[in-house]
Amino acid sequence: MHPQFHQQVVWITGASSGIGAAMARAFSMAGAFVILSARRRQALESVAASLPNEAMVLPLDLTDQSAIGPAAEQALAWRGRVDVLVNNAGVSQRSETQHTKQETARRLMEVNFFGATALTAAVLPAMLSKGQGHIVNMTSVAAYVAAPERAYYSASKHALRAWSNTLRAELGGSGVHVTMVCPGFVSTDISKKALDGEGIPIGRPDPQVSGGLTAEEVALQVLPALRGRKREVRIGGVEIMAIYWQRFCPWIVAWVIPDCVPEADSGMLWGVRGALRAVWGLPAPKRLSREQAAAQPELIKR
Ligand SMILES: NC(=O)c1ccc[n+]([C@@H]2O[C@H](COP(=O)([O-])OP(=O)(O)OC[C@H]3O[C@@H](n4cnc5c(N)ncnc54)[C@H](OP(=O)(O)O)[C@@H]3O)[C@@H](O)[C@H]2O)c1
DSSP designation for 113:
I
Q: What is the domain extent for residue 152?
A: 3-239
Out of 200, 217, 239, pick the residue that ends a domain. Answer: 239
Same domain, 86 and 229: yes
Query: DSSP characters for 226-282?
Result: HHTT-SEEEESSGGGHHHHHHHH-HHHHHHHS-SEEETTS-HHHHHHHHHHHHHTTP
Q: For ligand 1, what atom is nearest to the CA of residue 193?
A: 20
Q: What pLDDT sits at residue 269?
A: 74
Q: What pLDDT sits at residue 283?
A: 74
Same domain, 166 and 256: no
Out of 239, 261, 276, pick the residue that ends a domain. Answer: 239
Q: What pLDDT sits at residue 285?
A: 72
- Per-residue pLDDT 10s for the chain (302 aa) are 556 899 999 999 999 999 999 999 999 999 999 999 999 999 999 999 999 999 999 999 999 999 999 999 999 999 999 999 999 999 999 999 999 999 999 999 999 999 999 999 999 999 999 999 999 999 999 999 998 899 999 999 999 999 999 999 999 999 999 999 999 999 999 999 999 999 999 999 988 899 999 999 999 999 999 999 999 999 999 999 999 999 998 888 888 877 766 665 667 777 777 778 877 777 777 777 667 767 766 655 44
- Which residues have a Cβ under 8 Å from the Cβ of 295 and sit 6 or more positions away? none
Same domain, 174 and 261: no
**Is the CB of residue 189 less than 8 Å from the CB of residue 205?**
yes
295 C-alpha vs ligand 1 centroid, how far in Å? 40
Same domain, 121 and 261: no
Same domain, 138 and 263: no
Q: Is residue 39 part of a domain?
A: yes
Q: Is residue 68 part of a domain?
A: yes
- Which residues have a Cβ under 8 Å from the Cβ of 95 and sit 6 or more positions away? 104, 149, 195, 196, 197
Give the CATH number for residue 183: 3.40.50.720
In angstroms, rounded to a whole number, what is the distance separating the alpha carbons of residues 128 and 214?
Answer: 34
20 C-alpha vs ligand 1 centroid, how far in Å? 7
**Is the CB of residue 149 less than 8 Å from the CB of residue 196?**
no
Q: What pLDDT sits at residue 263?
A: 60
Q: Is residue 282 part of a domain?
A: yes
Q: What pLDDT sits at residue 253?
A: 85
| 152 catalytic residue (yes or no) | no
Q: Is residue 166 part of a domain?
A: yes
Residue 229 to residues 37, 111, 119: CA-CA distances in angstroms?
24, 25, 20
Same domain, 269 and 144: no
The response to whether residue 293 sits with its C-beta less than 6 Å from ligand 1 reads no
Q: Is residue 244 part of a domain?
A: no
Mutate to test the pocket of ligand 1, among 12, 94, 190, 232 (most ligand atoms within 8 A of CB): 190
90 C-alpha vs ligand 1 centroid, how far in Å? 4
Same domain, 50 and 172: yes
Number of domains in the chain: 2
Same domain, 205 and 56: yes
Q: What pLDDT sits at residue 293?
A: 67
Same domain, 52 and 145: yes
The response to whether residue 43 sits with its C-beta less than 6 Å from ligand 1 reads yes
The response to whether residue 61 sits with its C-beta less than 6 Å from ligand 1 reads yes
Q: Whose CA is nearest to atom 42 of ligand 1?
A: 14
89 C-alpha vs ligand 1 centroid, how far in Å? 4
Same domain, 104 and 204: yes
